[in-house]
């Protein structure tokens, strides 16, 4: 995440959030820190390249996705 973050002038967390957005997923970040909240909202001012997306996609571990706690753990 650091490579794309450096290239785009964003934080690694913003890169991960943007990766989710570009995959059409909904990510719900949480932070009590005002600066991080602003950073979390600033994921629509840039886009990852196909190369960035492919590099992050290649990090796939084969682990199953986390399940929705409201559906599976209540």
| Secondary-structure breakdown of the chain: helix, strand, coil percentages, each rounded to the nearest 5 | 50, 0, 50
- pLDDT at residue number 28: 87
pLDDT tens digits along 31-74:
899 999 999 999 999 999 999 999 999 987 777 766 666 666 55
Total-model pTM: 0.77
Report the 10 Å Cβ neighbour count for 43: 23
Angle between helices 34-41 and 12-22 (to 10 degrees): 30
What residues does each domain of the chain span?
Answer: 2-61
**Whether residue 14 has pLDDT greater than 60:** yes
């Amino acid at each position: 995440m650091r490579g794309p973050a450096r290239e785009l002038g964003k934080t690694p967390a913003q890169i991960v959030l943007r990766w989710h957005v570009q995959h059409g997923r909904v990510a719900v970040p949480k932070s009590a820190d005002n600066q991080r909240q602003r950073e979390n909202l600033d994921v629509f001012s840039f886009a990852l390249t196909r190369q960035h997306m492919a590099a992050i996609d290649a990090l796939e571990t084969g682990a199953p996705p986390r399940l929705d706690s409201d559906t599976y753990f209540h």
